[in-house]
Structure 1
Amino acid sequence: MIQIIKGDITKVAADVIVNAANTSLLGGGGVDGAIHRSGGPEILEACRKIVAKQGGCKTGEAVITTAGKLPARYVIHTVGPVWNGGLKGEAERLHACYINSLELAAQHHCRSVAFPNISTGIYGYPKKEAATIAVTAVQQFLATNRGIKEVIFVCFDEENETLVKTALEAKR
């Protein structure tokens, strides 16, 4: 089941919320900053441990931490691609963000996952293309994995909400 809502991902009660992180995992602006602020220092401390162990997170990959004070059990941090005209593997990397996040959620027995609009803010990914990639990746994953029962696209603004809804309707 796929839901689309407009709102603040830090308020969503799902087993896991996904953070559009940067490679350092140490917080930033946008969704990343909001998750770190709302979740409290436990998230940053967990991220620091990951950085000490593996040196951050590469574009397209995902790592999991506690959710701290958030109404979720976990936060999955994934690093979306910076838009560079579409000729540097951005689509494949964005697709990988969704698939790797869902695989990590399934490994941790999560049944509900909430996603932001990855890479569509400061990273400049065209919103329409990003919405299509997001919906396609989630549908592909759900077609073969029965553990996750609900995916929620949490859109920060009406434009992204409309684009995700349109992408989902086109794939039905």
Structure 2
Amino acid sequence: GARGEEATLARCYKSVFALVEQHGLRSVAFPSISTGVYRFPIERAALIALREIRAALGRLPQLEKVTVVLFSQADLETYQRALAALSSEGGGGENV
């Protein structure tokens, strides 16, 4: 909990998107990073993932598709709630 895990997870996504940019990729897929064996709370992970995905889609014009692979209906519902929360913050989310 208090060792910078949220920042580390955000850096993970940023690193992948840097590779996407470097290689000119048009799509990328992610699992729900750290929410399995590492037991990072999926509610926090979903917000971090979706924020980083939204930022990457906004700055990488070649990026057409980002897929998040989830493991259960409950995980999907968590990501949907996180997307709704981000959208209500005024940052949009309709393209995420």
Q: TM-score, normalised by structure 2?
A: 0.84
Partner of 1:89: 4
Opposite residue 107 of structure 1, the aligned amino acid is Q
Q: Report how many residues are paired.
A: 87
Q: C-alpha deviations, 1:83-134, integer Å up to 9, x for none? A: xx2x101000000111111110221111011110000001110010100110
Q: Compute the RMSD of aligned alpha carbons.
A: 1.0
| Residue 156 of structure 1, CA deviation | 1.2
Unmatched runs of 5 consecutive residues or more in structure 2: 88-96
Mapping for residues 3-82 of structure 1, pairs under 5 Å? none
How far apart in 1 are the matches of 2:20 and 2:56? 12
* 1:151 correspondence with 2:66: yes
More helix by share: 2
* 1:171 correspondence with 2:86: yes
Partner of 1:49: none
2:37 counterpart SS class: coil
More strand by share: 1
Runs (4+) off by over 2 Å: none
Unmatched runs of 5 consecutive residues or more in structure 1: 1-84
Q: TM-score, normalised by structure 1?
A: 0.48
Partner of 1:160: 75
Structure with max Cα Rg: 1
Opposite residue 102 of structure 1, the aligned amino acid is F
How far apart in 2 are the matches of 1:104 and 1:151? 14
Partner of 1:18: none
Partner of 2:42: 127
2:68 counterpart SS class: strand
Partner of 2:19: 104
Identity of aligned residues (%): 37
1:123 counterpart SS class: coil
